[in-house]
Amino acid sequence: MASRKAASKYQVTGLIINVGYSPSLRQISSIVTQLRKDVPEFAALVSKDVRASLLGKGADDILVPINPRKSKSIAEAWGAVHALMAHELVTDCEPAVQVPSEQEPPLPATLKSGGSNHDAPGSEKQEWSVDLVHARSAWSQFSVSGKGVKVGHPDTGYTRHPEILDSRLLVAEGYNFEEDSADPLDPLKGSGTGHGAATASVIMANSTNSPRVFGVAPAVKLVPLRVSDSVVHFNFSNVAQALYRARDRKCHLVSMSLGGPWAGRSLGRAVDTVIADGLILLAAAGNKWPWVVYPALFDNVVAVAACGPGFKPWRSSAAGPAVDITAPGDSVWRAMTNKKGAEKYPVKRSSGTSYAVATTAGVCALWLEHHGVAELQARYGGRLAAVFLSLLKASVTEVPGWDASAYGPGVLNATKLLETSLPALGAASRKTGMATPANAQGIQAIDRLQKYFPELTLQQLAKATTAILGDRAKGRGQAKVKNQAPSRPTLMDEVEFYVATDAGVRAAFLAAGGKGKTRAGLKSATSQPAKALEALASEPLRQLIKA
């Protein structure tokens, strides 16, 4: 069965435990020791001498690494999560799961932002993308270039490409969370080779020195934060740590040309925390994905879709009501780094929402410089991100026939944004809405899954959920099973995880909802929907399915 084979793709690297306050190192040690004593499922995965740490300064999430020699399966990790959630020391818990970039799961599509085989007509000039968003006119009209603004940049790291190798590239302030080292240099491995340098060039390249890439904010400073070898993320613990690092290094905005179909609540808490401290976060909507991915899917993160020359939406851009704005992403000129070959540092065109969000981040830097970072933060505080998003959406280039329900109200326009007056009070700060779930059953369960099934109506999804999880998923009461304890709230966390990350499970829900198409390798999964999930599930979830 496809889902059984898929189980081996998950590599559990740790558990993220929320305790509701920010503990000291001594307290962290005591907490882990007590949990190992009280929770056998946890002790089976974690060594006695484990080096647990906070995700960031002031965070209340503890990252506990899994002993590679003890790690067994994704089901056992979720079993430990469920058991930990019953402990009085634990407020929330989730697994940190890595999917190796060379073994990316067989989802409906991929988030890769690699080079395009087709360059869009009208993209021949290197400056087309900055002209489409009126960045060059903003430079001259408002005398802005991003000076005095610092961008946090979680990605694959930096390379020594001439387009970004500048004193404004603040390597010493960055960090390598992937290898846990000080230097965030991209080792050029995995599916995201050179991606960090490529997206950085779109933000910061100085066209006056090197006219091959027109960076939107050619005087901005950038802090490289290496978080992965791929732009496809299933373990957001590195990204969460990078957000805290960006805040601690006094970054003013964070540009995230990355994403994934599932994110735990710890990422949401990190997002809320740094935004409350006055940062603006922007992220890619995703490539070829049936829904907008995390972290762009969070309400308080600017979600950016992609278009090409002539304001034509890029055919591979993720779309939907979660998109806030669209920016150039089809055939954008960027710095390319080759591991081998005669030409190591060329400049070529590439496509992806990665470049759309980098372009928007550059415009954000121009806006911050124009009004003054200190003045904006003093005036709006934790509402600054909401104020920026409100003005951003109100100052777009409106395109005839534009589908606002899929691509936001229009296309990014730097000049109109800088012309727009600041509000007296500004928009209210938005939260991620990723609080600990109150229950795992009822209509709330269906609502949590709906974003993953744009093909299904709510009624069809209710039908599928009932077929796979039983009547309790529709709120008809819990089926009573002898000697079975009530299902834990985190069971729906586990269901959501597999729906988002395993093609067989998602196909089973589609089939059970009346929209699935049986394909080779998924036949048994779709003909017996519950089996697709049961093959991966932890013991508590397996009991729920069988009930």
Phi, psi of 207 (to 5 degrees): -70, -20
Question: Which residues of the chain have a pLDDT value below 50?
Answer: 1-3, 110, 112-116, 437-442, 474-488, 518-526
The residues pairing with 64 across neighbouring beta strands, listed in sequence order, are: 15
Predicted local confidence at residue 477, as pLDDT = 31
Predicted local confidence at residue 483, as pLDDT = 39
Report the b/e string of 336-346 with b at 16+ CB within 10 A: bbeeeeeeebe
> Could you report the per-residue pLDDT of 245-279, keeping only the tens digit for each?
999 999 999 999 999 989 989 999 999 999 999 99
Predicted local confidence at residue 523, as pLDDT = 43
Residues 6+ apart with CB under 8 A from 333: 123, 126, 128, 129, 212, 213, 214, 347, 348, 349
**Domains annotated on the chain, with CATH:** 9-98 (3.30.70.920), 128-419 (3.40.50.200), 438-547 (no CATH)
> CB of 226 within 8 A of CB of 178?
yes
Predicted local confidence at residue 517, as pLDDT = 53
Give the span between the Cα atoms of 175 and 369, in whole angstroms. Answer: 25
Predicted local confidence at residue 192, as pLDDT = 87
Question: 168 to each of 148, 151, 218, 227, 333, how far by Cα in Å?
Answer: 10, 10, 10, 20, 20
Question: What is the CA 478 to chain-centroid distance, rounded?
Answer: 34
Enter the pTM of the model: 0.92
Work out the burial of residue 348: count CB atoms within 10 Å of its CB; fewer than 13 is exposed, 13-18 middle, 19 or more buried: middle
Residues 6+ apart with CB under 8 A from 411: 132, 133, 307, 311, 325, 326, 327, 396, 397, 399
Q: Strand pairing of 325-328 and 302-307?
A: parallel
Predicted local confidence at residue 117, as pLDDT = 56
Give the span between the Cα atoms of 200 and 154, in whole angstroms. Answer: 10
Query: Which contiguous run of DSSP H or E holds residue 18?
Result: strand 11-18
* DSSP per-residue codes, 334-384: EE---SSSS-SS-EEEE-SHHHHHHHHHHHHHHHHHHH-HHHHHHHHGGGH
**In 10 A of CB 209, how many CB atoms?**
10
- The closest alpha carbon to 233, from 192, 181, 274, belongs to 192
Give the span between the Cα atoms of 313 and 316, in whole angstroms. Answer: 9
Query: Which contiguous run of DSSP H or E holds residue 274?
Result: helix 265-276
The residues pairing with 16 across neighbouring beta strands, listed in sequence order, are: 63, 94
Predicted local confidence at residue 545, as pLDDT = 86
> Could you report the per-residue pLDDT of 435-458, keeping only the tens digit for each?
554 444 445 567 788 889 988 998
Give the span between the Cα atoms of 111 and 261, in whole angstroms. Answer: 10
> CB of 89 within 8 A of CB of 67?
no
Work out the burial of residue 477: count CB atoms within 10 Å of its CB; fewer than 13 is exposed, 13-18 middle, 19 or more buried: exposed
- The closest alpha carbon to 247, from 142, 46, 385, belongs to 385
Q: What is the DSSP letter of 332?
A: E
Give the span between the Cα atoms of 370 and 355, in whole angstroms. Answer: 23
Q: What is the DSSP letter of 268?
A: H
**In 10 A of CB 188, how many CB atoms?**
19
